[in-house]
């Protein structure tokens, strides 16, 4: 880690580029955060102590832990309690499972910038492994019955699969794609491998140039999976497979217009 990045220089430079609607600049903030350190403000306790507790703030009904991005910003914020210095990836991994965000430099003119927990999850897992928000998610309007029929057949032959759902995902940056949500009876390595083979075997029916991603519906933190669990009916369900009019049966309809999430 370079002295400039570790001292907050790269992150603070990225923060200065952010303006409303500049999702590309916000992505640079996330990248810089992943490779930087932040100064976490402790409401009580000592750094690394069992009684250590971060400060907290609520914005629009969501919780955030405040921090500053350099020794200079720490002096400017006037905090007179303890603090601890941690890496961006480390604090992201600590906060997102409890659905807490991170607020950078709340003392700064304009109030600083908040990083929601969904984006902290991306910082933790790797920004290139998940789509950039805000996401627009809805039922796919694509008419590709051959692909869905083949996938349904393959799912019925894959005992680990309980059901399949689908969504059309439009990231803030990058190309839209079709997401296939997979609900498993067993999420062990062998079951996951059978699902990978199932998805691979159906690729021949995917129209050329259409990106397809697999989403584990057991992941309670994945925003696409959360939408599918709440809003999408299965197009394949092992329990209902073949029942007239049931999700996944021949003739099931689709084509809802995407809605923001």
What proportion of the chain, given as a percentage, has pLDDT over 90?
80
Across 147-160, average pLDDT: 95
DSSP string over 5-52: HHTTHHHHHHHHT--TT-HHHHHHHHHHHHTSEEEEEEEES-TT-TT-
HSE value, Cβ hemisphere, 13 Å, CA-based, for 202:
24
Q: Which residues pair with 114 in a beta bridge?
A: 103
pLDDT at residue 85, as a whole number: 96
For the stretch 178-230, pLDDT in tens is 999 999 998 899 999 999 999 999 999 999 999 999 999 999 999 999 999 99
Torsion of CA 121, 122, 124, 125, to 10 degrees: 110
SS3 216: strand
pLDDT on residue 237: 95
Using CA atoms of 249, 253, 259, 261 in order, give the dihedral in degrees to the nearest 10.
0
pLDDT at 253 over 60: no
Q: Structure pTM? A: 0.82
φ, ψ of residue 154 to 5 degrees: the values are: -65, -35
pLDDT confidence tier of residue 255, bands split at 50, 70 and 90: very low
Q: Is the pLDDT of residue 8 over 60?
A: no
Is the predicted pLDDT of residue 93 greater than 70, yes or no? yes
Question: 50 versus 27: which is more confidently predicted?
Answer: 27
Q: How far is CA 74 from the centre of its chain?
A: 30
Q: Which contiguous run of DSSP H or E holds residue 99?
A: none
Asked whether the predicted pLDDT for residue 176 surpasses 70, the reply is yes
Q: What is the DSSP letter of 139?
A: -
Q: Which domains does the chain have, with CATH numbers?
A: 3-129 (no CATH), 136-260 (3.30.70.1350)
- What mean pLDDT value characterizes the chain? 88
> What average pLDDT does the segment 138-143 reach?
94
Residues 47-68 have a mean pLDDT of 93
- pLDDT, position 252: 28
State the number of CA atoms in the 13 A half-sphere of 217 facing the CB: 24
Residue 89 has pLDDT above 50, yes or no: yes
Q: How far is residue 214's CA from residue 161's CA, in Å, rounded to a whole number?
A: 13
Average of per-residue pLDDT across 148-159: 95
Interval 88-97 mean pLDDT? 97
pLDDT single digits (tens) 63-88: 999 999 999 999 999 999 999 999 99
């Amino acid at each position: 880690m370079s002295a400039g990045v570790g001292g907050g220089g790269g992150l603070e430079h990225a923060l200065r580029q952010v303006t409303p609607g500049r999702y590309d600049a916000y992505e640079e903030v996330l990248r810089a955060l992943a490779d930087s350190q932040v100064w976490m403000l402790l409401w009580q306790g000592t750094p690394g102590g069992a009684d250590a507790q971060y400060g907290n703030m609520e914005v629009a009904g969501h919780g955030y832990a405040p921090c500053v991005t350099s020794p200079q910003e720490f002096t400017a914020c006037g905090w007179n309690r303890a603090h601890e210095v941690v890496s961006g990836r480390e604090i992201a991994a600590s906060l997102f499972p409890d659905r807490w965000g991170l607020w950078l430099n709340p003392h700064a003119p304009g109030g600083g910038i908040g990083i929601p927990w969904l984006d902290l999850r991306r910082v933790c897992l790797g920004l290139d492994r998940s789509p950039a928000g805000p996401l627009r998610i809805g039922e796919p309007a694509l008419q590709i019955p051959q692909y869905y029929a083949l996938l349904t057949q393959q799912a019925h032959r894959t005992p680990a699969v309980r059901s399949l759902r689908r969504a059309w995902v439009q990231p803030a940056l990058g190309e839209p794609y079709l997401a296939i949500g997979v609900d498993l009876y067993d999420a062990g390595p062998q079951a996951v491998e059978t699902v990978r083979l199932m998805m691979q075997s159906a690729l021949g029916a995917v129209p050329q140039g259409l990106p397809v991603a697999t989403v584990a519906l057991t992941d309670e933190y994945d925003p696409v999976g959360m939408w599918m669990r709440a809003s999408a009916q299965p197009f394949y369900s092992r329990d209902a497979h073949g029942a007239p009019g049931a999700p996944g049966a021949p003739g099931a309809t689709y084509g809802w217009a995407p809605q923001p999430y």
